[in-house]
Amino acid sequence: MIKDTAFWDASALTPICIYEPATRQARALLRKFVPVTWWGSKVEVHSAIARLGRTGRLTNTEIKGALARLSMLNTGWKEILPSDRLRELAILLLEKHDLRAADSLQLAAAMMWCQQRPLRRSFVCGDLRLSKAAEHVGFTVLQLSIW
Protein backbone atom coordinates (compact mmCIF):
# COMPACT_ATOMS: atom_id res chain seq x y z
CA MET A 1 0.00 0.00 0.00
CA ILE A 2 1.39 3.39 -1.00
CA LYS A 3 0.83 6.08 1.61
CA ASP A 4 0.13 9.71 0.86
CA THR A 5 2.45 12.39 2.16
CA ALA A 6 1.47 15.17 4.53
CA PHE A 7 3.39 17.96 6.14
CA TRP A 8 3.85 17.35 9.88
CA ASP A 9 4.82 20.11 12.26
CA ALA A 10 6.83 19.31 15.40
CA SER A 11 3.73 19.45 17.60
CA ALA A 12 2.30 16.55 15.60
CA LEU A 13 5.54 14.53 15.64
CA THR A 14 6.07 14.83 19.39
CA PRO A 15 3.06 12.66 20.41
CA ILE A 16 4.46 9.84 18.28
CA CYS A 17 7.59 9.87 20.41
CA ILE A 18 6.08 10.41 23.86
CA TYR A 19 2.72 9.42 25.24
CA GLU A 20 0.27 12.29 25.51
CA PRO A 21 -3.45 12.76 24.79
CA ALA A 22 -2.93 13.07 21.02
CA THR A 23 -0.70 9.97 20.68
CA ARG A 24 -3.35 7.56 19.37
CA GLN A 25 -4.58 10.07 16.80
CA ALA A 26 -1.04 10.95 15.68
CA ARG A 27 -0.08 7.30 15.29
CA ALA A 28 -3.24 6.61 13.28
CA LEU A 29 -2.34 9.48 10.93
CA LEU A 30 1.21 8.16 10.68
CA ARG A 31 -0.21 4.92 9.28
CA LYS A 32 -1.91 6.99 6.53
CA PHE A 33 0.68 9.67 5.75
CA VAL A 34 4.45 9.70 5.27
CA PRO A 35 5.68 12.76 7.15
CA VAL A 36 7.27 15.68 5.38
CA THR A 37 8.99 17.97 7.89
CA TRP A 38 11.20 21.00 7.99
CA TRP A 39 14.89 20.74 8.73
CA GLY A 40 14.56 21.84 12.37
CA SER A 41 11.79 19.41 13.36
CA LYS A 42 14.15 16.86 14.88
CA VAL A 43 15.64 19.58 17.09
CA GLU A 44 12.19 20.81 18.17
CA VAL A 45 10.95 17.32 19.08
CA HIS A 46 14.22 16.54 20.89
CA SER A 47 13.78 19.81 22.78
CA ALA A 48 10.29 18.77 23.93
CA ILE A 49 11.60 15.40 25.10
CA ALA A 50 14.55 16.98 26.94
CA ARG A 51 12.31 19.58 28.59
CA LEU A 52 9.93 16.89 29.86
CA GLY A 53 12.91 14.97 31.20
CA ARG A 54 14.35 18.00 32.98
CA THR A 55 11.01 18.74 34.64
CA GLY A 56 10.65 15.15 35.80
CA ARG A 57 7.63 14.35 33.65
CA LEU A 58 9.61 11.61 31.85
CA THR A 59 11.85 9.00 33.43
CA ASN A 60 15.28 8.20 31.98
CA THR A 61 13.81 5.03 30.45
CA GLU A 62 10.97 7.02 28.86
CA ILE A 63 13.47 9.57 27.50
CA LYS A 64 15.56 6.81 25.90
CA GLY A 65 12.45 5.27 24.36
CA ALA A 66 11.23 8.62 23.06
CA LEU A 67 14.61 9.43 21.51
CA ALA A 68 14.74 5.97 19.90
CA ARG A 69 11.27 6.55 18.40
CA LEU A 70 12.39 9.99 17.17
CA SER A 71 15.46 8.49 15.53
CA MET A 72 13.40 5.80 13.84
CA LEU A 73 10.76 8.32 12.74
CA ASN A 74 13.46 10.61 11.36
CA THR A 75 14.77 7.87 9.06
CA GLY A 76 11.37 7.64 7.35
CA TRP A 77 10.40 11.24 6.90
CA LYS A 78 11.14 13.58 4.03
CA GLU A 79 12.86 16.78 5.07
CA ILE A 80 12.69 20.29 3.61
CA LEU A 81 16.15 21.81 3.93
CA PRO A 82 16.93 25.45 4.75
CA SER A 83 17.31 27.90 1.90
CA ASP A 84 17.24 31.63 1.30
CA ARG A 85 13.83 31.26 -0.37
CA LEU A 86 12.42 29.40 2.64
CA ARG A 87 13.68 32.10 4.99
CA GLU A 88 12.16 34.86 2.82
CA LEU A 89 8.83 33.04 2.71
CA ALA A 90 8.90 32.55 6.50
CA ILE A 91 9.41 36.29 6.96
CA LEU A 92 6.45 37.04 4.68
CA LEU A 93 4.30 34.60 6.64
CA LEU A 94 5.24 36.36 9.89
CA GLU A 95 3.85 39.58 8.47
CA LYS A 96 0.52 37.98 7.50
CA HIS A 97 -0.14 35.51 10.32
CA ASP A 98 0.08 35.38 14.11
CA LEU A 99 3.04 32.96 14.18
CA ARG A 100 6.23 32.48 16.13
CA ALA A 101 9.51 32.24 14.21
CA ALA A 102 9.81 28.43 14.28
CA ASP A 103 6.17 28.04 13.25
CA SER A 104 6.66 30.40 10.31
CA LEU A 105 9.66 28.31 9.23
CA GLN A 106 7.55 25.18 9.42
CA LEU A 107 4.73 26.73 7.40
CA ALA A 108 7.23 28.08 4.87
CA ALA A 109 8.74 24.59 4.54
CA ALA A 110 5.25 23.19 3.95
CA MET A 111 4.70 25.81 1.25
CA MET A 112 8.04 24.92 -0.37
CA TRP A 113 7.11 21.22 -0.30
CA CYS A 114 3.96 21.85 -2.34
CA GLN A 115 5.49 24.54 -4.58
CA GLN A 116 3.17 27.05 -2.89
CA ARG A 117 0.07 25.16 -4.07
CA PRO A 118 -1.40 23.84 -0.80
CA LEU A 119 -4.86 23.00 -2.14
CA ARG A 120 -5.67 19.32 -1.40
CA ARG A 121 -2.43 18.95 0.59
CA SER A 122 -2.61 17.76 4.18
CA PHE A 123 -0.96 19.49 7.12
CA VAL A 124 -0.86 17.54 10.41
CA CYS A 125 -0.62 19.85 13.39
CA GLY A 126 -1.13 19.97 17.14
CA ASP A 127 -0.79 23.74 17.49
CA LEU A 128 -3.93 25.85 17.12
CA ARG A 129 -2.19 29.05 15.97
CA LEU A 130 -0.16 27.23 13.30
CA SER A 131 -3.22 25.21 12.25
CA LYS A 132 -5.17 28.42 11.64
CA ALA A 133 -2.37 29.89 9.52
CA ALA A 134 -1.97 26.67 7.53
CA GLU A 135 -5.69 26.54 6.88
CA HIS A 136 -5.69 30.20 5.89
CA VAL A 137 -3.05 29.64 3.20
CA GLY A 138 -5.04 26.69 1.82
CA PHE A 139 -3.89 23.45 3.45
CA THR A 140 -6.30 20.78 4.61
CA VAL A 141 -5.41 20.78 8.29
CA LEU A 142 -5.59 17.57 10.27
CA GLN A 143 -5.66 19.08 13.76
CA LEU A 144 -4.63 16.79 16.58
CA SER A 145 -7.02 17.05 19.49
CA ILE A 146 -5.25 17.50 22.79
CA TRP A 147 -8.21 16.50 24.97
Burial class (CB in 10 A: 0-12, 13-18, 19+), 99: buried
AA letter at 114? C
Q: What's at 85, amino acid-wise?
A: R
Neighbouring residues of 40: CB distance < 8 A, sequence distance ≥ 6: 10, 102, 105, 106
Q: What's the rounded Cα separation, in Å, for the pair 44 and 11?
A: 9
Q: Is the pLDDT of residue 1 over 80?
A: no
State the Cα–Cα distance between residues 21 and 46, nearest whole angstrom: 18
Dihedral angle sign, alpha carbons of residues 13, 19, 20, 21: positive
Structural domains of the chain ordered from first start:
4-143 (3.40.50.1010)
Amino acid at 144: L
pLDDT for residue 147 is more than 90:
no
User: Helices 101-113 and 84-96: crossing angle, nearest 10°?
Assistant: 120
pLDDT value at 38 more than 70: yes
Give yes or no for residue 3 having a pLDDT over 90. Answer: no
For residue 116, pLDDT beyond 70: yes
Mean pLDDT of 84-98: 98
